[in-house]
Structure 1
Amino acid sequence: MLQGSHTEMHLFLVIAFFLTVATAYYIYTPLPSAISEPWKVMLLDAGIRFVVKMGYLVDDLGLSHHTRVLNFAVDHLEVLAPHSSEGVSVSDTVFAGLQVRVFESTRELRGQLKRGLLYFHGGGWAIGSGSKWKGETTTNIGMRSYDQLCRRMAQELDAVIVSVDYRLAPDVVFPGQYHDAIQAAWHFLQPEVLARYSVDPGRVGVTGDSAGANLGAAVAHEVAMDSQAPIKFRVQALIYPVLQALDFNTPSYQQNQAVPILYRPLMARFWLEYLGGDPSYIQPLLANDHAALDVSQLTSHRDKLNWTRLLPATVRKNYEPVVPLRGSVQMLEELPGLTDPRAAPLLAEQEVLTQAPPTYILTCEHDVLRDDGLMYGRRLEEAGVAVSYDHHEDGFHGCLSFAFWPAYLEVGIRCVQNYICWLGENL
């Protein structure tokens, strides 16, 4: 009897050992040495990779689209996050047919109006909404990490923050998300709406992160160029923005292609889903086949993303441009959004950029999108726009969202502090 128990215990320990090794192997991801709190990042990345792979499995089985699996997982995880704060009133309402959540500072300053900010969340134009309509009410708009961020901004800036729950891929593709964003902006910028929320018409900004920063920049361009707009944005604040899909081999794409949490193939997949493209185009996109030298349709755009000119030598390092001699125009013909400045704000013409408001751009060294932000900033500067750069050498894509529960990453906390500080000084 004892011998049997001993054998079973031995077997249990062996199994436990191999499970531990397998788990550690799955979790461990080589990270650049500059990234702080690496084990936190590895754990977060392992969880995200697991959900992404489960989503692809469910998709392959024909049960559901993989982004719906991601949204389901995020929705049910973030419901555990804290969602209260002193000095902030939160309400769900509708702007131009769109669900929005309004965060209002309840601080009363006699005779003074508040700042106003329109916020677009990230998530590859496909993730970040857990809202469920029940007549005229909604629950759980957006992701809780953004909820926490917007509460903090409202409180510290004595502001009104409007978080827009724009429609998502795969149900809606470009230009659907853009149209939602601009409709929400025009609604918020109406003098009577600003007056209702006690917002100073001269202190309204637009902001967002990642795909949301993409929408924010596109909206800022549209509003700036509209001569009939009675109110313009005072600033735009872009957090690791995604701004172009013609070059997936910029130095940051090459350097960070295997760095969590936004891997290079995943960004290409997000672009294809946003533009309504076939997933089979991922590899041609990554090879820059759609931007080959013989694709004459890109002649007017090439200098707008010529990183050998737009990026400093410290960023270019020893990386070389990837420009195939011959490619195919098929993707450009099927996906006109690839060259549409509403989808790719980096491709905006100089006369559009000249009208853009003063701009804050937060970038992270270990992010495939780093160079999108840096190139856009350089083009804005060339157009005469004031640009404030906030670069984090130990940062990675998405780190700002991890300033809150459950991660509390130091770099994320620093990003939030810098971001709110800039808004406080410039809005």
Structure 2
Amino acid sequence: MKATTLPKFGLFLCSGHEEVKMKVASALITAVAAFTAYYVYRPMPSTVSEPWKLMLLDATFRCAQDLCNLADYFGLGHHLKILHYMSSFEKNDPVSSGNLKVTDTIFDGVEVRVFEPSSEPHGTLKRSIVYIHGGGWALASARSSTYDGLCRKVSEEVNAVVVSIEYRLVPDVHFPTPLNDVLTATKYFLHPDVLQKYSVDPDRIAVSGDSAGGNLAAAVCQQLTENPNQTIKLKLQALVYPALQILDFNTPSYQQNTDMPVLSRLGMIKYWLDYLNVSLALTHSMLVNNHTSLDSGETVALRERLNWNTLLPVSFKKNYKPVVQSIGNPSLVQKFPALLDARASPLIATKETLQLLPKTYILTCEHDVLRDDGTMFAKRLQEAGIDVTHDHYDDGFHGCMSFTTWPTYFLVGARARDGYVKWLKENL
């Protein structure tokens, strides 16, 4: 049989088709590479823990934020509510184990999750920790796997009853509602009858929180301390990379870590503005400290309470310079008085208030815009005569203590968590 061959023009067609496919594939590869480079690659300090893993984590966060902003733009919902849903979709039901009873309940109208260890004989009084989760006052949940897991570990390791508070979030509410929720639940728990119900020793109770939760924990501690009718007092406060002030967004750590994962300076400012129900149009004014300029008499005295030239060690200050505007926008303070409210910025509390506070633990991370908030608070407390333990992690970043399980396991996160738990175990 005679062999057949394809016509020459058929060969040309096949060749042209393959060429088109190659061009399309090349374009797609280029687009994916550009997209990946945009989201993933970000210059990192050599001292940060596991930089490539942190890049991937940050890229995931930024991609989620961009998608939420896009959904908000098209009217599908508020970007923070969508981001909250995405970040807290994995909410756990209260699951008890052989040595830990976990229940969801209500404390005076506020939802809480309670973790009760059962290793002690019945009737033995236990230690207790009121825990307040972070998330920029807008994200996360006491029921999320991250905070459920953390509180389980704390409860088991410290052998303490842990009350994790599910306070209401921005944008549904604003300052001072989240603080009031936490204060209400904590005061309810501190009632003698409730402590007896959970077999808690009234002399061994701590309040703790991370990030925005650290802000709320510090504010609650000050509120309870100043309340003369509060007979049962907190023994400890433990603050993990807390956000403590809104007066200065140009401290050395804000300048040094402007674009660091997981929390940038711009991102922190926006969380603050949303929390205080201040227009995001004022972001630039906050960025350059126009709200605390020298022509606003009210802010001059308060700025002395966070004068980082005297409150920070030389190793933190480096060569950074203070950003103080002579002429700014002092009307912001009149329009938004919460900017100068110590309930929002616990760092600016008076020395008289600080002198009443309990023994304190503060954890800070080098690669975190909030590093100096915690460090200045530690210094002010020490100057007020308070016993303070300040743990600083040179390779740490904001939120690291939340990343201690696969696939977002960081060695520095596990070290920070274990150090925090160890301090509670030894001091509570």
TM-score by length of 1: 0.93
Structure 2: unaligned runs, 5 residues or longer: 1-10
Task: Provide the C-alpha distance between the structure 1 equivalents of 2:130 and 2:153, rounded to a whole number of angstroms.
Answer: 14
In the TM superposition, 1:361-400 aligns within 5 A as: 361-400=362-401
Amino acid at match of 2:100: V
Shift of 1:36: 1.8
**Structure 1 residues 104-127: Cα deviation after superposition (integer angstroms, max 9, x where no partner):** 112133653211110111111111
What is the match of residue 323 of structure 1? 324
Match of 2:152 in 1: 151
CA distance in 1, matches of 2:123, 2:189: 21
Q: CA RMSD in A?
A: 1.9
Counting only pairs closer than 5 Å after superposition, residues 230-269 of structure 1 correspond to structure 2 as 230-269=231-270
Alignment partner of 1:126 out of 132, 138, 160: 138
Highest Rg: 1 or 2?
Answer: 2
In the alignment, the residues of structure 2 paired with residue 405 and residue 88 of structure 1 have an alpha-carbon distance, to the nearest angstrom, of 23
Residues 362 and 86 from structure 1, CA distance in 2 versus in 1: closer, same or farther, beyond 3 angstroms?
farther
Instruction: Give the 3 Å change call, closer, same or farther, for CA 227–82 of structure 1 in structure 2.
Output: closer
CA contact (8 A) 2:94 2:102 kept: no
The residue number in structure 1 matching 2:127 is 115
Are residues 1:198 and 2:199 paired?
Answer: yes
Q: Which moved more, 1:341-350 or 1:108-117?
A: 108-117
2:175 matched residue in structure 1: 174
Identity %: 47
Report how many aligned residue pairs link the two structures: 415
- 8 Å CA contact 1:265–1:286 kept in 2: the answer is yes
Q: What's 2:218 paired with? A: 217
Distance 2:156 2:275 in 1: 33
Moved over 4 A (4+): 79-86
Which residue pairs with 2:295 in the alignment?
294
Residue by residue over 1:146-201, the C-alpha shift from the partner in whole angstroms, topping out at 9 and shown as x without a partner, is 11100111111111111101111111111111111110110010111111111111
Asked whether the equivalents of residues 242 and 373 of structure 1 are also in contact (C-alpha less than 8 Å), the reply is yes
SS in 1 for 2:88: helix
- Supply the AA of the counterpart residue of 1:98: V
What's the offset of the Cα at 1:217?
0.4
Structure 2 residue aligned with 1:350: 351
Structure-2 residue corresponding to 1:47: 60
Cα shift at 1:9: 5.3
Q: What does residue 103 of structure 2 align with?
A: 91
Answering whether residue 271 of structure 2 is matched by residue 270 of structure 1, we say yes
CA distance in 1, matches of 2:93, 2:188: 30
Deviating more after overlay: 113-122 vs 5-14:
5-14
Q: Shift of the alpha carbon at 1:86? A: 5.2
- Alpha-carbon deviations, 1:250-296, whole Å to 9, x = none? 00000001110101011000110010000101010000001111111
Report Cα offsets for 1:90-110 as digits up to 9, x if no partner: 100001101111111121336
Are residue 27 (structure 1) and residue 45 (structure 2) matched?
no
Q: Is 205-214 or 404-413 further displaced after alignment?
A: 404-413
After superposition, give the CA deviation of every residue in 1:210-254 in whole Å (9 maximum; x if it has no partner): 110000001111111222212111000000000000100000000
One-letter code aligned to 1:254? Q
